[in-house]
Structure 1
Amino acid sequence: MRRSKMLDRQFHISRREKFLEFLKDGQAGIFFAGSTKMMAGDEEYPFSVNRNFFYLTGCEEPDTVYLAYRQKGAGKEVLFIRRPDPRLERYEGPRPGKAEAGQKYGIAEVCFLDELSGRLAELISCGGVGTLLFDQEEGTWQDMAEPVRQTADRLKKDWPRLAVENAAPWFARMRRVKQPEEIAAHRIACRTTVEAVRYMMAHTRPEMTEGQMEAYFDFIVKSRGCGHAFATVAATGKNACILHYSANRDKIKEGDLVLVDLGASWEYYCADVSRTFPANGKFTPRQRLLYEIVLAGLTAALEAAKPGQRKDELQLISKRVMADELVKAGILSAPEEIEKYYLHGSGHFIGLYTHDVGEDPENLLQKNMMFTLEPGLYFPEEGIGIRIEDTLLVTEDGCEVLTADIPKTVEEIEAFMQS
């Protein structure tokens, strides 16, 4: 991934300083970058670094470990890297040595990965560390990624009195409210997404395939040096009623609505947008009616989004507005029947992951939080699925729609498509 100048070394140093302040005497945190995974034969999946590890270090190298601990009031940190391997580097390129890694990431002590076990044994056996914090984002202990669980199990076996705790809630609290550098990275991802979606819409025509439409989005994203926040949904007709549809190979038919759910990323910070539009540039009366009901739900939630607002209530607002409009249109006989057509939540926090950490029913929005709103209605019997989503930044007294420049009203979409 191309690196920007926004998340510099000092940003990650500041995050580590916060974590060291959080640690109590006798506690240590150990965090893993992750390892590459084999796909088939000798081909590997593209490496994707653990985001909490990246948040603390800025390092994107696999097989790297960060250790932080507090003893006698003093906070200390060590980065463990893989030993140099000239043969492997011929295939993967050079990796930084101790001195270079220390300078690059601002960590004074750098050791080799095979020294990690000895350092942990030394810290635990001398009584200096009695609690280890791991990154357990997964639902259960058994779900924890390797080698995290292996390391924890081995240490618990060797030192039964060692306490093992979860650092993920700390990361969730820290990452919910964005720093200026993070917001700047999000803005790049959102600007690229806006440009890419407009380019894709301008080239969408009946008789092309969903994958051909997707390729126009990909071209802009890659041309701007961005990554993809997640696998693109490019769905036409009834495919739009499959929430995580990603085959993207069917032909777009005359009269179809197209639903796209996609986003670029910069420095791993994500954008997430959904748009629904007619492939031929003109809504039918039925499509227009349903589309404007979803848009009304989104607009109502956007108007209510501000600091102090419970985030989960925004979904209730959009659902209530859509249900009332569906009853007025004679599509529903009672508001509660909307459950048949509204199949998902109306938004999520966004950050280093598209569906980012920090979700909690009690969450009140705060300035510089970032999240999405995405109400939708799905009518598979009619081959109509509609979802409209934007990426939002909470401001002093409301929210800023970072993806507002993608056509969204019926009039804007038709004018843009027909131009």
Structure 2
Amino acid sequence: MQNNHHQSRRQQFYEQLTDGEALILFAGSAPRKSADASYRFFANRNFFYLVGIFQTESVFLAVKTGGEIEETLFIHKKDPLAERWNGYRISPEEASEHSGVEHVKELDEFDSALKEAVEIGGVSTLWYDFDQFDAGRADAPQNRHSASLNSAYPYLSLNNAYPAICAARTIKDESEIAHIREAMTITRAGIHEMMKSAKAGMYEYQLEAVFNKALADAGVRESAFANIVSAGRNNFYIHYEEPTGMLNDGDLILTDVGARKNEYVTDISRAFPVNGKFTTEQKEVYSIALQVNKELMGLLVPGEVSFADIETHARKRVGEELIAAGFLGKDEDVKKYYWHNGTHHIGLDVHDVGPKGNPIQPGMVFTIDVGIYIEDKNIGFRVEDNVVITGTGFEHLSSEIVREIDDIEAMMS
């Protein structure tokens, strides 16, 4: 059995368990799409973080008694007929190898195992991953199961493991950062190919296909999130996911894209002109966003600033520069052209979990994003980069994805 990062993450969580407590995690299932079709299965992120397998509907149980932890992973049994129709199911041996969990049983044994732990093993407290985004969703497996169990054993205490798991996910280890670097290399290739391929008369979805092909060529099946590839006035829809417009001469293209590698993602935004040359006004506004982006990176000292500090500086400086350039009146609020915050964690999710109010710490990976949207000038875009905080400062993970005006124009020529 290989020593793996998932084991060490579980051991870290177990430090808060006392005797008579148990942790239950659900992998989840593929949501129904329509008729008898389902969306592709996507393992619950906290389940994957701690367990490391992708088998649909799997359940993980850890029970602490006598100061020792007993782990059991429950998965669908091997079934040649089911696999013929729906794809390969991992074996207990493979599940054990990938997860580091010694005991792997069939899924239909979970209920009896938990019943024994409660009625005979003395378990009185259960920890569930009560995801804040599943609050009120009766069909979420942790909500459905905890409600059923609480009805059968009303004396049980229920605790929420979600905050502790999320806090751990906020600080990436070296293996996680390495995965993000790999994803960044692929993202860079895709963005550069889009810059080289863009031309008037193309459709946004054709440019998006260029990015997707670059990912496929690198062995990546799908992007980190729904690609945002827009041009012209479509840039004013921040989360634009219907790329059907045409690229017109004189317009700016906005790409907000990322790759997923070994489950870790990137989130990069770049802007470039359809015809390969920025207009004078486009240069002015773009230069402001890029300048402020660089200034924000200059603030990144671990323990000294929070996301709120970064956002405050961004709004202040964008406002000052837009006023100085004559795009914003002295009495106008910067929010007229500065529409959104630009700092969020990335990792297993593109908007990854983690507190936003705390000072930045080594191991945090997040975005530095400056967006400016001036509708009456038809100039809207964002310059978004990814950084990881180190012991003394930061590493600019996306530094090799071109963003200087001269470099963009040279790449597009």
Query: What is the TM-score of this pair, normalised by structure 1?
Result: 0.94
Say if 1:416 and 1:101 are closer, same or farther in 2 by CA, change over 3 A: closer
Query: Could you report, residue by residue, the CA deviation over 1:338-378 in whole angstroms, capped at 9, with x for unpaired residues?
Result: 111111111100100011000332x1111121000111011
**2:270 corresponds to 1:270:** no
**2:178 corresponds to 1:188:** no
Aligned with 1:348 (options 340, 344, 347)? 344
Contact 1:272 1:390 in 2 (8 A): yes
**Aligned equivalents of 1:213, 1:336: Cα separation in 2:** 36
| SS of residue in 1 equivalent to 2:4 | helix
Name the counterpart of 2:302: 307
Say if 1:305 and 1:145 are closer, same or farther in 2 by CA, change over 3 A: farther
Query: Could you report, residue by residue, the CA deviation over 1:19-59 in whole angstroms, capped at 9, with x for unpaired residues?
Result: 22232222111111111222223322111111111111110
**2:100 corresponds to 1:106:** yes
Query: Could you report, residue by residue, the CA deviation over 1:114-158 in whole angstroms, capped at 9, with x for unpaired residues?
Result: 121112222222362111111122246313652221101001111
**2:192 corresponds to 1:205:** no
**2:42 corresponds to 1:82:** no
**2:236 corresponds to 1:241:** yes
**Aligned equivalents of 1:14, 1:127: Cα separation in 2:** 25
Name the counterpart of 1:317: 313
Aligned with 1:387 (options 379, 382, 391)? 382
Q: CA deviation at 1:9?
A: 5.3
Q: CA deviation at 1:183?
A: 0.8
Greater than 4 Å deviation, 4+ residue runs? none
Contact 1:138 1:144 in 2 (8 A): no
| SS of residue in 2 equivalent to 1:13 | helix
Query: Could you report, residue by residue, the CA deviation over 1:153-197 in whole angstroms, capped at 9, with x for unpaired residues?
Result: 001111112111211111111111111111110100011101110
| SS of residue in 1 equivalent to 2:136 | helix
Aligned with 1:93 (options 65, 87, 90)? 87
Q: Could you tell me which amino acid in structure 2 is paired with residue 373 of structure 1?
A: I
**2:396 corresponds to 1:401:** yes
Q: CA deviation at 1:383?
A: 2.4
**Aligned equivalents of 1:380, 1:205: Cα separation in 2:** 22
Q: CA deviation at 1:294?
A: 1.1
Say if 1:166 and 1:107 are closer, same or farther in 2 by CA, change over 3 A: same
Name the counterpart of 2:252: 257
| SS of residue in 2 equivalent to 1:299 | helix
Range with greater deviation from structure 2 (364-373 or 254-263): 364-373
Q: Which runs of 5+ in 1 are unaligned?
A: 1-7
**2:24 corresponds to 1:30:** yes
Name the counterpart of 1:4: none
Name the counterpart of 1:368: 363
Cα RMSD, aligned residues only: 1.6
Name the counterpart of 2:66: 72
Say if 1:15 and 1:336 are closer, same or farther in 2 by CA, change over 3 A: farther
| SS of residue in 2 equivalent to 1:95 | coil
**Aligned equivalents of 2:209, 2:94: Cα separation in 1:** 39
Q: CA deviation at 1:60?
A: 0.7
Q: Could you tell me which amino acid in structure 1 is paired with residue 27 of structure 2?
A: A
Contact 1:368 1:394 in 2 (8 A): yes
Q: CA deviation at 1:411?
A: 1.8
**Aligned equivalents of 1:299, 1:138: Cα separation in 2:** 34
| SS of residue in 2 equivalent to 1:408 | coil
**Aligned equivalents of 1:140, 1:59: Cα separation in 2:** 21
Range with greater deviation from structure 2 (94-103 or 115-124): 94-103
Contact 1:270 1:351 in 2 (8 A): yes
Name the counterpart of 2:322: 326
Contact 1:9 1:104 in 2 (8 A): no
| SS of residue in 1 equivalent to 2:353 | coil
Aligned with 1:358 (options 351, 354, 358)? 354
Q: Could you tell me which amino acid in structure 2 is paired with residue 71 of structure 1?
A: T
Q: CA deviation at 1:255?
A: 0.1
| SS of residue in 2 equivalent to 1:281 | coil
